[in-house]
């Protein structure tokens, strides 16, 4: 006999995880059984893969038939809009690392929810943020999803595109002394993950996810124990030994790393020994193939 309490507990725990990842109310998952003993799931999640994940978690306690009627926001028809100005989206009780980002002028957005003064939107890099209603321009025409097709998010292995090492270093170092700003995503101010994102977008045409915890899952893995294996273009992810804050920097060769440093207040170059002394290294990722 199936333990409905176990299924409900699984759904509740997963819902809490999703709420922590994306702290907005876009998750409503419920389950019940039909007369033919089919487990019926219904509700709403943000991303398509989350529909499969909930079934994967339920399977150990229920091997019978499952009817999945959960819808994802990726499959819903949203209003399309684009931003008229770049904004820093950190407002009052909405303060969250995962909702702190800027959108470029004329970047295409999906309007997910909201009423009154604010709208919750999804940017081209899949980062959510709150925008002020008067700063978005709505466009109800179809086909704007094609605006995203030239941007590639590498996941699982290094991308096929070559990357010129000298060009990467020139692009990265052109950001030197640009101020650090949490949520910043422009040449006026950047945070560490936005700096990484912008350098790869400008150098290789690759759009990485917005936040370091997402970027860390992209590309191919490089051994973290031997800095001699780290090449220019490798991203080094760590946690501050002092503040426990997540951080990422970009190797530029000659035992150096460039990063947008909250501690220093701007984009700076450090030697790798200093970086590794101050940050506990979690991962090193390679997003593109270095050209010969």
Task: Give catalytic residue positions.
Answer: 192, 247, 259
196: its two tokens: 């990484």
Whole-angstrom Cα Rg for the chain? 21
Report the C-alpha gap between 2 and 198 in whole angstroms.
Answer: 50
What sections of the chain are H helices per DSSP?
Answer: 4-21, 49-58, 165-173, 192-204, 212-215, 272-278
Q: Rounded to 10 degrees, what is the CA torsion of 198, 199, 200, 205?
A: 70
With beta carbons less than 8 A apart as the criterion, state whether 43 and 28 touch. Answer: yes
DSSP code, position 71: E
Nearest to 204 by CA among 158, 145, 146, 247: 158
DSSP 8-class letter at 291: P
For residue 223, count other CB atoms closer than 10 A to its CB: 10
């Amino acid at each position: 006999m199936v333990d409905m309490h176990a299924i409900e507990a699984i759904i509740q725990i997963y819902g809490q995880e999703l709420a922590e990842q994306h702290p907005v109310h876009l998750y409503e998952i419920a389950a019940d059984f039909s007369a033919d003993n089919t487990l019926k799931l219904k509700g709403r999640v943000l991303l398509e893969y989350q529909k499969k994940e909930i079934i994967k978690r339920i399977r150990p306690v229920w091997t019978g038939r499952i009817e999945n009627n959960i819808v994802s926001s990726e499959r819903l028809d949203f209003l399309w809009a684009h931003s008229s100005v770049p904004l820093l989206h950190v407002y009052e009780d909405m303060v969250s690392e995962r909702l702190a980002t800027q959108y470029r002028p004329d970047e295409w957005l999906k309007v997910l929810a909201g009423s009154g003064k604010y709208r919750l939107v999804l940017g081209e890099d899949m980062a959510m943020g709150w925008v002020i209603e008067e700063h978005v321009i709505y466009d109800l025409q179809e086909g704007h999803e094609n605006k995203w097709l030239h941007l590639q998010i590498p996941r699982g292995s290094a991308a096929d595109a070559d990357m010129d090492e000298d060009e990467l270093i020139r692009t990265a170092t052109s950001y030197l002394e640009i101020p650090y700003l949490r949520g910043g995503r422009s040449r006026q101010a950047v945070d560490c993950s936005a700096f990484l994102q912008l350098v790869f977008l400008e150098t290789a045409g690759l759009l990485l996810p917005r936040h370091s915890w997402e970027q860390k899952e992209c590309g191919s893995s490089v051994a973290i124990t031997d800095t001699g294996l780290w090449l220019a273009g490798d991203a080094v992810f760590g946690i501050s030994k002092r503040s426990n804050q997540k951080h990422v920097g970009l190797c530029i060769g000659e035992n150096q790393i460039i990063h947008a440093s909250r501690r220093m207040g701007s984009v700076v170059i450090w030697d790798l020994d200093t970086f590794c002394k101050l940050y506990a290294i979690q991962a090193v990722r390679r997003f593109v193939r270095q050209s010969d």
